[in-house]
Amino acid sequence: MNENFEKEFELKYGLLFVVSGPSGAGKSAICRSYVNRFPDTYLSVSETTRAPRKGEKEGREYFYISEEEFEERRNKDYYLECAGVYTKHYGTPKAPIIENLQNGHNVILEIDPQGAMQVKQTYPKVVLIYILPNSIKTLEDQIRGRKTETEEQIQLRLGKSKEEIKNISSYDYIIINKPGRITKSVSQLASIIGAEECKVKTILDQDKGEVI
């Protein structure tokens, strides 16, 4: 028997996950709750050119930057991916992602489908997860309930969500987040991440020495 069995087969690098879903589907609540349960995971903090919403804090939900700063950083290849969403820009700073993966931490990016597809092209091993509400009505109720958007913004978000939902076949997993059932959704996220960690291919791939 190989005495170093555990050492040799331990996952060296973290795995990369993308969580997308319509605005109001509950993806932030699910990711935050997951990270509370598994604090070893790094939940990426994006940069955005949109203004902070009431209750949001610099460095927690986002880093808030100007369009000029965004443009400059995008040109310097500072982002792992970036996209224009609802007339504003959003980007994932690359350095903390690579560093966390190298240090063995799983990383979750909470980003839109345009960003998810960019990441998939660059890093085909990424696992894409889509959070769906159980109905469009639930989605509308959730967005209206948080009282942070104007009617025009609500309609924009609902329209975009309906379009997005038609294209979920590029994703690897779907979590249906029913109102009041967040615990189940968080458990499903944990099951997906746990299963990916246990895949034979994941373990063998890491022997190749590629972080991602």
Cβ at position 134, least distance to ligand 5GP in Å:
18
Q: Name the minimum Å distance from CB 200 to ligand 5GP.
A: 31
Binding mask 102-121 for ligand 5GP (x = CB under 6 A): --------xxx-xx------
Sole binder of ligand 5GP in the list 26, 34, 46, 158 (CB under 6 A) = 46
Question: From the CA atom positions of the chain, what is the Rg in Å?
Answer: 18
Residue nearest to ligand 5GP (CB): 115
Does 158 sit near ligand 5GP (CB under 6 A)? no
Q: Min. distance of Cβ 209 from ligand 5GP in angstroms?
A: 28
**Shorter beta-carbon distance to ligand 5GP: residue 114 or 206:** 114
**Min dist. Cβ of residue 109 to ligand 5GP (A):** 7
- Does the protein bind ligand 5GP through residue 91 (CB under 6 A)? yes
Asked if 142 interacts with ligand 5GP (CB under 6 A), we say no
**Which residue lies nearer to ligand 5GP by CB, 83 or 192?**
83
Q: How far apart are the first and last CA of the chain?
A: 30
Question: Cβ neighbours of residue 73 under 8 Å, at least 6 residues apart?
Answer: 47, 65, 79, 91
Q: Which residues bind ligand 5GP (CB under 6 A)?
A: 23, 46, 50, 81, 83, 85, 90-92, 110-112, 114-115
